[in-house]
DNA sequence: TTGTACGCGTTATCAA
DNA sequence: TTGATAACGCGTACAA
């Protein structure tokens, strides 16, 4: 029925162990022997059983993505980036949508690690900053990489963008357009990046000699509805801000919708800008000026760190962000 | 190090096999024995190794989602629905983003089946209609469920909505608003649903005694850009249509963007409507009138079919669609 | 450079 | 209702 190593060994006339050596690209295999084995593998269309490999060996050729981000685009990009990197090494990715508020999250993760023997995990915010999860993995000696961690960066390898510099760049851009009252919609405080982005906004204002007016700052929760609500609040001010900078694209889209509704979505009126973790900015009109966070690249690099040598020093790999200027940001 | 069945058997004073029986909820286990074993399992925090289970047994407690849909929302909803159903049975989902144009798709799927010992697969369009894939799975005797299959429905269990009736309902709705020239943006022909939706549009027009004007029909490819391009074409007609009905929400969003750009996104002007496979309709302004396809429900039901008894007759499970009327569809 | 013997943790078979 | 023992397919350790 199933084609096994045994079949390959018979077909090529070498021992099971030698076939295993070829499969795992070990050294000390004769060139001719290797060729014969590879031919037999191809002829029989042999595919090693991951179950048997993980049971017998130290590796399982599987890694897991712990991702409970509410944005489908973010999840999709993360999975795609990781998949791309894993494909290079013949490693499989286990990706389950998780619920970050689930009381069994910790248990689920422990279960996953035990049951699947994964070689490592990739953690995204906000789980990448959950002390309980970090402790658990460290205690079990499981490798993991964190995406956009907020603290304790020395704990494990990680990938990130400079959120503070990014927010400062966008704020400076808006200031350069002549805006003096810039509304800011912050992200949910459970995400470390929220604070970093807020910092960048504040610093850029300070640098320009403009006092931070607390009334111009609202807290959202990274979704469309909270962005719309925050924008309504901000535009009800007297005088209203001439620009709104949202900490995520979903919130920026919400703000833009409010602008549409109020007839402000035309050049010379309200400027709306945002972070663009995903791709939503392409679906709204007029297109948003955004800080593009290369989620897919961060994912790829995270997988790269995870699949790299186990004894490598803890590396923090920075990925460049991009300020994408589009027409929605008109001059005041 | 790792807690095994052996440890549980020692702790509870029964044989390994009996522990296994309890874990698999087999019959013929004494009530008291079962209780003791369960207590030991909980006390030791025992988690069975999936690798060992799939190696020794006939089941692997894993299913795979073959989903190469380009829409992140669709993928997310599919994964979430399947995850929800799988969680009930302690089954894990393997979800890899695939590339439907990959020349190695068939090989990748075969590899997945062989390597992971999955108990079954869930196929989404357009792969759910690829004869080569269907053949392969049938030949190997692997269970699978198809989502929205276009033909050969008797081949395997499937979930679907009545696309023709849905398109007809939307067309009738637009006719009821007074529209007589309704542009239609069709989906890519590689998706069976594209033809079904087109049929519904044509039939509803016929029923109203309105001849189908071929110039009002354009072919898109389910994405934002093709929807925008098709809308540009349609609005360049003389006279232009007073309504546009797109076969997907991404294309509808593209059409709406064109309407914005031309100043037509106000009541009394162009009506834009679309299918809503995902959730995008909530992110545009004004909100689109849509046929809501409950992707998550279809996914849940697909997993339900897959995890059900293996000897069940081939079932076609229909899921209800919903016509969601929102403000973008104004009277002519 | 290659081969032998054993074990990984669980389920299947068959006997008790 | 329970238990002993042989698989499952592969990697590891060690020997040749």
* pLDDT, tens digit, 9 for 90 and up, residues B228-246: 999 999 999 999 999 999 9
Task: Determine the pLDDT at residue A222.
Answer: 87
A150-168 mean pLDDT: 94
Which one has a higher pLDDT value, A243 or B269?
A243
* Whole-number Å distance between alpha carbons of A66 and A312: 22
Show the CA angle centred on residue B241, arms to residues B237 and B247, nearest 5°.
Answer: 110
Contacts of A280 in chain B (CB under 8 A): 283
* A213 has a pLDDT exceeding 60: yes
Integer distance in angstroms from CA B2 to C1' D15? Answer: 30
Contact A110 B47 (CB under 8 A): yes
Task: Report yes or no: A215 and A181 within 8 Å, Cβ to Cβ.
Answer: no
Which one has a higher pLDDT value, A265 or A264?
A264
Longest CA–CA separation in chain B, Å: 85
Residue A147, φ and ψ in degrees, nearest 5: -100, 130
Contact A260 B285 (CB under 8 A): yes
Q: If 0-12 CB within 10 Å is exposed, 13-18 middle and 19+ buried, where does residue A71 land? A: buried
Task: Determine the pLDDT at residue A286.
Answer: 76
Contact B92 A97 (CB under 8 A): no
Q: Which of B92, B95, B283 sits opposite A280 (nearest CB)?
A: B283
pLDDT band of residue B260 (cuts 50, 70, 90) is confident
Does the CB of B5 fall within 7 Å of any strand D atom?
no
Task: Determine the pLDDT at residue B88.
Answer: 92
* B206 has a pLDDT exceeding 90: yes
* A332 has a pLDDT exceeding 60: no
Q: Report residue A162 as tokens.
A: 């400079």
The two counts, helices (H) then strands (E), for chain A are 12, 12
* A235 has a pLDDT exceeding 80: yes
Residue A9, φ and ψ in degrees, nearest 5: -65, -40
Task: Determine the pLDDT at residue A185.
Answer: 98
Domains of chain B: 62-161+296-319 (3.40.50.2300), 163-294 (3.40.50.2300)
Nucleotides of C under 7 A from a protein CB: 1-5, 7-13
Q: Which of B83, B224, B261 sits opposite A97 (nearest CB)?
A: B83
Question: Hey, what's the torsion of the CAs at B182, B185, B189, B195, to 10 degrees?
Answer: -30
* Whole-number Å distance between alpha carbons of A275 and A272: 11
Q: Among A264-278, B20-34, B204-218, B311-325, whose mean pLDDT is lowest?
A: A264-278
Which one has a higher pLDDT value, B16 or B200?
B200
CA distance A253 to chain B (A): 7
Burial code (b: 16+ CB inside 10 Å, e: under 16) for B259-288 equals: bbeeebbeeeebbbbbbbbbbbbbbbbbbb
Which one has a higher pLDDT value, B332 or A88?
A88
Q: What is the DSSP string of B290-322?
A: EEE--HHHHHHHHHHHHHS-TTSPP-EEE---E
Task: Determine the pLDDT at residue A283.
Answer: 67
Contacts of B70 in chain A (CB under 8 A): none
Task: Report yes or no: B76 and A74 within 8 Å, Cβ to Cβ.
Answer: no
* A31 has a pLDDT exceeding 60: yes
Q: Which of A72, A111, A279 sits opposite B76 (nearest CB)?
A: A72
Contacts of B285 in chain A (CB under 8 A): 256-257, 260-261
Q: Among A90-94, A112-116, B32-36, B209-213, whose mean pLDDT is lowest?
A: B32-36
Contact B111 A48 (CB under 8 A): no
Mean pLDDT over the full length of chain B? 90
Task: Determine the pLDDT at residue A257.
Answer: 83
Q: If 0-12 CB within 10 Å is exposed, 13-18 middle and 19+ buried, where does residue A209 land? A: exposed
Partner residues linked to B324 by β-bridges: B290
Does the CB of B33 fall within 7 Å of any strand D atom?
yes
Task: Report yes or no: A23 and A9 within 8 Å, Cβ to Cβ.
Answer: no
* A17 has a pLDDT exceeding 70: yes
* A218 has a pLDDT exceeding 90: yes
A267-279 mean pLDDT: 80
DSSP tag of A176 = H
Alpha helices in A160-264 (DSSP H): 163-176, 192-207, 224-235, 249-261
* Whole-number Å distance between alpha carbons of A293 and A295: 6
Cα–Cα distances in angstroms (integers) from residue A307 to residues A53, A64, A80, A120, in the given order: 17, 12, 16, 8
Does the CB of A15 fall within 7 Å of any strand D atom?
no
A97-121 mean pLDDT: 88
Task: Determine the pLDDT at residue B100.
Answer: 77
Contact B224 A76 (CB under 8 A): no
Q: How much helix, strand and coil, in percent to the nearest 5, is found in chain A?
A: 50, 15, 35
Integer distance in angstroms from CA A12 to C1' C2? Answer: 14
Nearest to B126 by CA among B154, B107, B98, B157: B98
Q: Angle at which helices B5-12 and B16-23 pack, to 10 degrees?
A: 110
| % of chain B surpassing 90 pLDDT | 57
A269-284 mean pLDDT: 77
Residue B216, φ and ψ in degrees, nearest 5: -90, 0
- Provide the CA B45 distance to its chain's centre, in angstroms: 36
* A293 has a pLDDT exceeding 70: yes
Q: Among A128-137, A285-294, B8-17, B260-269, whose mean pLDDT is lowest?
A: B260-269
Give the Cβ contact number of residue A260 at 10 Å: 20
Task: Determine the pLDDT at residue B28.
Answer: 83
* B313 has a pLDDT exceeding 90: yes
Question: Hey, what's the torsion of the CAs at A252, A256, A262, A268, to 10 degrees?
Answer: 110
Contact A261 B110 (CB under 8 A): no
Pick among A46, A274, A283 to test the B interface (most B CBs inside 10 A): A283
Task: Determine the pLDDT at residue A267.
Answer: 67
């Amino acid at each position: 029925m199933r084609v096994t190593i045994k079949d390959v060994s018979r077909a090529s006339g070498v021992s099971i162990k030698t076939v295993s050596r070829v499969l795992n690209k070990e050294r000390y295999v004769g060139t001719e022997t290797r060729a014969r084995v590879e031919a037999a593998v191809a002829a029989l269309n042999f595919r090693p059983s991951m179950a048997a490999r993980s049971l017998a060996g130290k590796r399982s050729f599987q890694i897991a993505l712990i991702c409970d981000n509410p944005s489908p685009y973010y999840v999709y990009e993360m999975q795609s980036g990781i998949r791309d990197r894993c494909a290079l090494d013949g490693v499989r990715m286990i990706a389950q949508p998780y619920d970050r508020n689930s009381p069994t999250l910790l248990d689920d993760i422990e279960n996953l690690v035990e049951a699947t023997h994964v070689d490592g995990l990739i953690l995204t915010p906000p789980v990448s900053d959950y002390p309980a999860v970090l402790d658990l993995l460290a205690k079990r000696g499981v490798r993991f990489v964190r995406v956009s961690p907020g603290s304790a960066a020395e704990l494990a390898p990680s990938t990130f963008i400079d959120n503070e510099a990014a927010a400062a760049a966008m704020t400076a851009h808006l200031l350069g357009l002549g805006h003096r009252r810039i509304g800011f919609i912050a992200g949910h405080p459970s995400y470390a990046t929220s604070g970093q982005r807020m910092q960048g906004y504040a610093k850029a204002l300070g640098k320009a000699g403009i006092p931070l007016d607390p009334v111009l700052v609202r807290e959202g929760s990274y979704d469309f509805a909270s962005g719309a609500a925050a924008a309504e609040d901000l535009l009800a001010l007297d005088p209203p801000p001439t620009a709104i900078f949202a900490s995520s694209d979903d919130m920026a889209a919400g703000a833009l919708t409010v602008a549409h509704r109020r007839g402000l979505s035309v050049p010379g009126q309200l400027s709306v800008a945002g972070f663009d973790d995903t791709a939503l900015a392409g679906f709204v009109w007029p297109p948003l000026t955004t800080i593009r966070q290369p989620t897919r690249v961060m994912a790829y690099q995270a997988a790269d760190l995870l699949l790299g040598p186990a004894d490598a020093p803890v590396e923090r790999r920075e990925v460049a962000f991009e300020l994408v200027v589009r027409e929605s940001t008109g001059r005041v």
